Amino acid sequence: MIGIGPFSNEVLDVLFERNNVKMITGNHDESVLALLNNEPYPESRINVKPHHEWIAARLKKEHISNLENLPRILNPTIHEHNLHLIHYPMKQSFNEDHISEDPFDLTGMPSQKNFSVIDGISIFSLVCFGHDHSTHHFICNNKTFFNPGSLGCFNEPFARYGIIDINKNGFNVMPQYVPYELNFYVSELSKTSIPRKEIILNIYR
């Protein structure tokens, strides 16, 4: 929800004003919160630190409080189907690790091989995740893993997300593409002073 762009407050304004949306944290959210709370910052992301410091310095106080109250994992049950929603699948022993320990990076790239050794998720039939910016949809150990791809880090003028249609007989995973004004976003991004701006702009070129 924050990071990879200078408009974190605008995004969070929209999300937190809704009462029908549930959210989880990811590595950018947790890294910025670590800076704000004077906690250890992930050494593996030290080159991103100026970017996160810029965001932290401008984040609205109410958004900081709201982000701190978000969970890392959601496990809803819908029509007797157990879902596991997490920024990136990981072994159960890593679930509570601080962001400075890079828990989202310990599993390896999305694959049947890497995900087959994850414990603590046997009761789930569907695991939805992000972190890796590419689209993934495969079955491993009788469960479906789905990542619609990054919503914003995409060099085509479409926002990607997924709809999961669930009923008592099963579920259907439907990737979605919604057009948006990519050129306008890139133009506005170019006017900012955010660190690593050129690296971000290269994502959209």
Strands 126-128 and 143-147, bridge-based pairing:
parallel
Domain for residue 25, yes or no?
yes
Q: Do 174 and 186 fall within a single domain?
A: yes
Distance between CA atoms of residues 75 and 124, nearest Å: 9
Please tell me whether residues 81 and 170 are part of one structural domain. yes
Are residues 64 and 122 both part of a single domain? no
The string of pLDDT tens digits covering residues 29-84 is 999 999 999 999 999 999 999 999 999 999 999 999 999 999 999 999 999 999 99
Sheet strands (E) in the chain: 73-74, 77-78, 81-86, 126-128, 136-140, 143-147, 158-167, 170-179
Q: Are residues 78 and 28 in the same domain?
A: no
Look at residue 5 in the predicted model and tell me its pLDDT. Answer: 84
pLDDT band at 99 (very low <50, low <70, confident <90, very high): very high
Q: Does residue 109 lie within any of the structural domains?
A: no
Looking at the chain, the whole-number percentage of residues with pLDDT higher than 70 is 100
pLDDT given for residue 67 in this prediction: 98
Supply 179's token pair: 């057009």
Same domain assignment for residues 141 and 50:
no
- Do the domain assignments include residue 143? yes
The rounded mean pLDDT for the chain is 96
State residue 89's pLDDT score: 98
- Let me know if residue 82 belongs to a domain: yes
Domain residues for the domain of 121 are 73-89+116-205
Q: What's the whole-number mean pLDDT along residues 130-149? A: 97
Q: What is the pLDDT of residue 4?
A: 87
Question: How high is the pLDDT of residue 29?
Answer: 97
The pLDDT of 149-174, averaged and rounded, is: 95
Tell me which of 79 and 5 has the higher pLDDT.
79
Verify that 77 and 163 share a domain, yes or no: yes
pLDDT of residue 3: 86
Residues 179 and 81 in one domain: yes
Instruction: Provide the pLDDT confidence category of residue 170 given band limits of 50, 70 and 90.
Output: very high
Does 104 fall in a domain? no
Counting the structural domains of the chain, the total is: 2
Q: Is residue 191 part of a domain?
A: yes
Mean pLDDT for the stretch of residues 102-112: 97
190 and 152 within one domain: yes
Q: In angstroms, how far is CA 121 from the centroid of its own chain?
A: 19
Query: Is 6 contained in some domain?
Result: yes
